[in-house]
């Protein structure tokens, strides 16, 4: 197996920005699996299918062709030839992704793809079930978290910077709803793998979180 770093954790813990920086630092390919679930949700929504309606989502898996492209640790995702990297980040697509991600057929479809990517390259992959289900043999497993209040505050500031009209309370309610859905679904719920290292970034900034993750990876690499 090639070298793999698995990063799991709740939404808004900083997984993707930290994983991108780690990818550049260690020369790994960054794979954001959330974008895959988001793309399936977007496809369903565009076809007028409710992402909760799994019986209607499943046949769509035969029509949707997803591809990843990578440049400078940035991942772009294409859906039937169209670059949807930006569109899948929309809040309602994220809610749709949470809905399709509880469908076992969707998970099997994406997990197979994720495993085949990890076989080809040295990767850093982030998601909810990477250390537990997708890559149980990953050399490094990290469970990255922060309190819901801190994650909501970070997300609220990001949205304010983008000029989105919202309140901290609304953002916190969405963060808590997403956490509930991710941890309570029957299929591969979000949980820390037994052998994952817990990194809580509630009390630290980005640079400190990056240093903590580097020290976990360096230690694991040294120990072999």
| Binding-site entries | 9-17
- 14 versus 34: smaller Cβ distance to ligand DC: 34
Smallest distance, ligand DC to C-beta of residue 222, A: 28
Smallest gap from residue 129 Cβ to ligand DC (A): 5
Q: Which residue is nearest to ligand DC (CB)?
A: 34
CB 110 to ligand DC: min, Å:
7
Spatial strand order in the sheet of 29-32: 29-32, 123-127, 4-8, 140-145, 197-200
Q: Which is nearer to ligand DC, 28 or 31 (CB)?
A: 31
**Binding site members for ATP:** 9-17
Residue closer to ligand DC, measured from CB, 38 or 154 = 38
Q: Are 200 and 8 in contact (CB under 8 A)?
A: no
Name which of 37 and 210 has its Cβ closer to ligand DC.
Answer: 37
Half-sphere exposure of 66 (CA within 13 A, CB side): 28
Which residues of this chain interact with ligand DC, rule CB under 6 A?
Answer: 11, 33-34, 37-38, 94, 97-98, 101, 127-129, 178, 182
Please classify residue 172 by burial: count the beta carbons closer than 10 Å to its beta carbon, then call 0-12 exposed, 13-18 middle and 19+ buried: middle
Beta strand residue intervals within 38-163, DSSP E? 66-71, 74-79, 82-83, 123-127, 140-145
Tell me how far, at minimum, the Cβ of 14 lies from ligand DC, in Å: 11
Residues with Cβ within 8 Å of residue 219, at least 6 apart in sequence: none
């Amino acid at each position: 197996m090639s070298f793999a770093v698995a990063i799991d954790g709740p939404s808004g813990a900083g997984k993707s920005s930290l994983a991108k920086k780690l990818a550049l630092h260690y020369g790994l390919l960054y794979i954001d699996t959330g974008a895959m679930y988001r793309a399936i949700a977007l496809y369903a929504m565009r076809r007028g299918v409710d992402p909760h309606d799994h019986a209607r989502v499943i046949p769509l898996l035969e029509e949707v062709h997803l591809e990843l492209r990578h440049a400078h640790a940035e991942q772009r995702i294409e859906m039937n030839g169209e670059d949807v990297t930006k569109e899948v980040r929309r809040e309602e697509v994220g809610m749709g992704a949470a809905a399709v991600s509880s469908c076992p057929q969707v998970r099997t479809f994406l997990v197979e793809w994720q495993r085949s990517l990890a076989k080809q390259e040295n990767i850093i992959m982030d998601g909810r079930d990477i250390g537990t289900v997708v890559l149980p043999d990953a050399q490094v497993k990290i469970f990255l978290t922060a309190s819901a209040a801190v994650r909501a505050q970070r997300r609220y500031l990001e949205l304010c910077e983008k000029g989105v009209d919202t309140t901290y309370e609304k953002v916190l309610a969405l963060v808590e709803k997403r956490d509930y859905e991710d941890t309570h679904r029957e299929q591969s719920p979000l949980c820390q793998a037994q052998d994952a290292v817990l990194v809580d970034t509630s009390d630290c900034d980005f640079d400190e979180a990056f240093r903590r993750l580097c020290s976990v990876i360096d230690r694991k690499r040294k120990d072999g």
